[in-house]
Amino acid sequence: MVGKYKDTKLIRSRIEQERLYNECRAEVDHLKKQLSNTSVATREYKHERDELKKSNRRISSRLVTMSKKQEATKAAQKSGMWNAGAGTTTAILYEYWKVDGFPGGRSWSGFFEHEAVFGVIMMSFSILFSALYRALHEG
């Protein structure tokens, strides 16, 4: 645009000077209007962009919350399954001992039928099953 206009030393007459001045004013007015329109459009897009960012944050936080809840639910289900396996193993072991006899003979049956011993055996199988689960599902 600057190359379009002559240097002031090269303008030969007052008429040419007025013509160039009027062209320059018209161009400045046109550029101001263009800048104003661009500013309005930019402001509108800025509001839309800010609204989209807010909704994106809300959706992302809900998505993370949902996935954390789903993970916790799955972990609880897996834990329940492995504990059920430990309980089932303990029940089968006791049924086997009732048919075949407790370890140490009949004199030890009172010991193995005590609730504390049953709890220790159940806890041992739970620990064993959880270690087995961790070994099989690394990462």
- Distance, CA of 2 to chain centre: 53
Q: Please compute the mean of the pLDDT values over residues 67-91 and round it to a whole number.
A: 84
Cβ–Cβ < 8 Å for 111, 117: yes
Domain total in the chain: 1
What confidence tens digit (pLDDT) does each residue in 36-65 have? 888 777 777 777 788 888 888 877 777 667
98 pLDDT band (50/70/90 cuts)? confident
Torsion sign, CA atoms 111, 112, 115, 118: positive
Return the pLDDT at 50.
Answer: 81
Helix (H), strand (E) at residue 104: none
Residue 31's domain comprises: 2-136
Q: What is the 3-state secondary structure (H, E, C) of 13-77?
A: CHHHHHHHHHHHHHHHHHHHHHHHHHHHHHHHHHHHHHHHHHHHHHHHHHHHHHHHHHHHHHHHH
What confidence tens digit (pLDDT) does each residue in 15-33 have? 888 888 888 889 888 988 8
Alpha-carbon distance of 104 to 121, in angstroms, equals: 16
